[in-house]
Chain A
Amino acid sequence: MTIKIAVIQFPGSNCDLDTLYVLNNVISNGIEAELIWHNHFKEAQFDGVVLPGGFSFGDYLRSGIIAAHSPALDEARIMLKGGKPIIGICNGFQILAEAQFLPGALLRNDSLKFICKWVNIKVENNKTAFTSKMNIGDVLAIPIAHGEGRYYTDKLKELEENNQIVFRYSTENGELTEQANPNGSLESIAGVCNLEQNCLGLMPHPERASEPILSPKQTMHGRLFFESMVEFIKRRVS
């Protein structure tokens, strides 16, 4: 079967080509990924969607808020209800939070600095559409690159009870420390999912961590996200 994945382009997206490359050339495995301008996206033609990193509409007012009102998100909302997988990476996560696909919000880093570095994240939930190839407690090496990534929610207890916290920033050994939390996120939260677990948002960039040559430790943990997505789609349609 051919798995059709849309990588949505907003004015300002800049991780769209990296994501497309990883899907088509690194993972491949029956994937046919396509770049789609946000006004042209029709969900019925696709099995899954990626909202890539970068910026959108200058990130004026708040990161992701203008894109959250774009026609692509109306289409994605249909996908969400239909149970198709949706992942938002970095700016994509900010868009999904502003569009209320995901709980919480992303605030300015507590250091006030744009942070671009490799971090470790610990897997807290491997039941989502993007984490089935991981084990709970696994520590993944993956880079971040953002100025507004400080996760905040006023419903922390609810998220914990519903198992919606998918990743937390940690040390290499999986310890949750203040130093390992790069941006001041509440409870070190790096990624969350919706109740149905078909939508994931995270600040780190799996598309930049999918080939050993790009990783300081020759890891390729980013592949697991996309491989899990493929598995989820195959299981869904079979």
Chain B
Amino acid sequence: MDHQEYIVEVVLENKPAARDPVGETIQKDLLAKKGYNMVSNVRSGQYLRINISAANENEAKEIVDKMCNDLRIFNPVTQNLTILKVTQKN
């Protein structure tokens, strides 16, 4: 089967129970002080954009999911991993 190039976008963020002082500082010390009181919470994280060759979208997603788990790209003790989007590269 022909393989295509896909782009898988992944976000890693601290679990809700683990404090995120980066997000807290952005919300409390910048946004709230500059009048953006409508913002009640900010969580920070890491973003990875992965180019991958796969048979289809689903396989691209599965490989990324497996590799992130096997190699601890995210730390399951403190972080959650979300696959945001899979797009085919033109």
- Interface of A, helix, strand, loop or mixed by DSSP: loop
The residues in B between 5 and 59 inclusive whose CB is less than 8 angstroms from any CB of A are 14-15, 17-19, 21-22, 25, 46
Q: Number of contact residues on A: which range applies?
A: 10 to 19
Cα separation A153 to B75 with both chains bound (whole Å)? 11
* Contact between A62 and B17, CB atoms less than 8 A apart: no
| B78, closest chain A residue (CB) | A105
| B15, closest chain A residue (CB) | A154
| Chain B hits for A105, CB < 8 A | 75, 77-78
Q: Say whether, besides A104-B77, A105-B77, A154-B77, A110 and B72 are in contact (CB < 8 Å).
A: no
Cα separation A149 to B77 with both chains bound (whole Å)? 15
CB-contact partner of A98 in B15, B21, B25, B72, under 8 A: B72
* Contact between B77 and A112, CB atoms less than 8 A apart: no
Cα separation A28 to B17 with both chains bound (whole Å)? 45
* Contact between A152 and B78, CB atoms less than 8 A apart: yes
A188 to chain B, nearest CB (A): 15
| A109, closest chain B residue (CB) | B21
| Chain B hits for A112, CB < 8 A | 21-22, 25
CB-contact partner of B78 in A69, A107, A111, under 8 A: A107
Query: Does B71 interact with chain A (Cβ within 8 Å)?
Result: yes
* Contact between A68 and B72, CB atoms less than 8 A apart: yes
Query: Does B73 interact with chain A (Cβ within 8 Å)?
Result: yes
The residues in A between 152 and 181 inclusive whose CB is less than 8 angstroms from any CB of B are 152-154
CB-contact partner of B17 in A69, A109, A154, under 8 A: A154
* Contact between A65 and B72, CB atoms less than 8 A apart: yes
Query: Does A108 interact with chain B (Cβ within 8 Å)?
Result: yes
- 4 smallest CB-CB distances across A and B, nearest first, come from A105-B77, A105-B78, A110-B21, A105-B75
Given contacts A98-B72, A184-B19, 9 further A-B contacts (CB under 8 A): A105-B75, A107-B14, A107-B19, A109-B21, A111-B21, A112-B21, A152-B78, A154-B15, A154-B77
Q: Residues of B with Cβ closer than 8 Å to A?
A: 14-15, 17-19, 21-22, 25, 46, 71-73, 75, 77-78
10 contacts between A and B (CB under 8 A): A61-B46, A65-B75, A69-B71, A98-B72, A98-B75, A103-B77, A105-B77, A112-B21, A152-B77, A154-B17
